Structure 1
Amino acid sequence: MCVLDAATKKAEVSRFLQRYPQTDQAGDEHPALQGCSDIPWSEIPGCPAGIPALFRGLLDPAAAPEAARVLSNTLMSSPFHLSAAMPVALRFLLRLAAEPDIPARSRLLDLLLVVAELSQPVDPEDERAVLLFGADNDHPEREQCRAVLSDHASLLYMLLGDELPPALRDGAVRPS
């Protein structure tokens, strides 16, 4: 299975910053990113420090496609596993996706669908699912993401509606 380690993620963020240095200089001027630079991203296991620059890159039409790609790769541990940084990043993803003028908005909506699906509990009796996704007790980020999704349920329904995974749509997360 394809797994991106911390060094690979850091190198990918560094390449992004070399190509789009303007994203490293901007502040958190966009309301959706308020507090993003205050988070000690590099203290989260497997997470590079450059996450705020990737979020700012989503606001830049020239950098947005690459920022979305690198951010998605950085926030995933593998194709079927969320990283430890995803629960922290999720509120910023939701806020940005709510903005209709964000250049990479469709990519963010796609990522939110993936997060919503991968954050669902895994039935411990389903050996195939446990083999593919891992046991819930080995992946606390799933429960943490569910909590963030629940806290932002109204926004999530507005953004994704019928595209939500059935477990979210049918009662695991309800808008308040």
Structure 2
Amino acid sequence: MLDAAAKRAEADRFLRRYAHDVRTDSGHPALRGCDEVDWSAIPGCPPEMPVLLHGLLDPAIAPEAARVLTNVLMDGIFRLGAAMPAVLPFVLRLAVADPRVPAVSCLVDIVVVTAGLSEPVDADNENAVRLRGCDSDHPERERCRAVFAEHAALLAGLPDELLTDADRASLRQAAGLGEPQGSR
């Protein structure tokens, strides 16, 4: 688990190494609006988040951008970071926008993990609460479910070859959708 200072240091290392290589003016439609988010107002989120997101488009640095992005977005193995709900729409759009996006498999992984970790925790399940915490302490779960619901139409565009049936079910549940027709 990376604390806020470690996340910041990792993002800073990425920026020192790659910021001059990243085109933040790419005009990629999936990233439209990412420069308008007040990233620095989100706890544990580097203000240069657009550089990380745009780095996902560059084949030479996409793997490192995806690794740093994942670390910034997670607060632990089973915990989503506060930035996840704000980043999720961009990650979803990138994952379905263009199969040539170099980090698409990493992006799909982020989407699937987020769907699973955004599921509500049963307050009566002591083990689940101990492992993942109470929902009231983790509003990012509900916010991520709202993002999945808002962008539910995009879920069908995720690459089939990168998803299992369990992944699809988790995504549908996170979006508040019922079972697909013919699944019973």
Common topology (TM > 0.5): yes
Q: How does 1:17-36 map to 2 (within 5 A)?
A: 17-23=15-21, 26-27=24-25, 29-36=27-34
What does the per-residue CA deviation read over 1:71-119, in whole Å, with 9 as the maximum and x for residues that have no partner? 0100111111111110010000000000211000001001111000000
The question of 1:173 aligning with 2:176 is answered yes
| Cα distance between partner residues in 2 of 1:51 and 1:172 | 25
Change (3 A) 1:25 1:96: closer
Matches within 5 A, 1:21-170: 21-23=19-21, 26-27=24-25, 29-98=27-96, 99-159=98-158, 160=163, 162-164=165-167, 166=169, 168-169=171-172
Gap change, CA 1:104 and 1:20, over 3 Å in 2:
same
- Does the 8 Å CA contact 1:82/1:141 hold for their aligned counterparts? yes
Unpaired segments of 5 or more residues in structure 1? none
- Deviation of 1:169 after TM superposition, in Å, equals 3.5
Q: TM-score, normalised by structure 2?
A: 0.87
Q: 1:172 to 1:106 in 2, by over 3 A?
A: closer
Q: Which residue of 1 aligns with 2:181?
A: none
Q: Which consecutive segments of 4 or more residues in structure 1 shift more than 6 A?
A: none
Q: Cα offset for 1:38?
A: 1.0
Q: 1:158: Cα distance to partner?
A: 3.1
1:10 aligns with 2:13: no
Shift of 1:18: 1.6
After TM superposition, give the deviation of residue 174 of structure 1 in Å.
Answer: 2.2
Deviations 1:20-57 (A, max 9, x none): 12355522511111110111101111111121100010
Do 1:23 and 1:54's aligned partners in 2 also have CA atoms closer than 8 Å?
no
User: What SS does the corresponding residue of 2:75 show, helix, strand or coil?
Assistant: strand
- Write the distance in 2 (CA, Å) between the matches of 1:88 and 1:171: 16
- In 1: Cα distance, 2:62 partner to 2:23 partner: 16
> Which amino acid in structure 2 is aligned with residue 123 of structure 1?
D
User: Structure 2 unaligned runs (5+)?
Assistant: 179-184
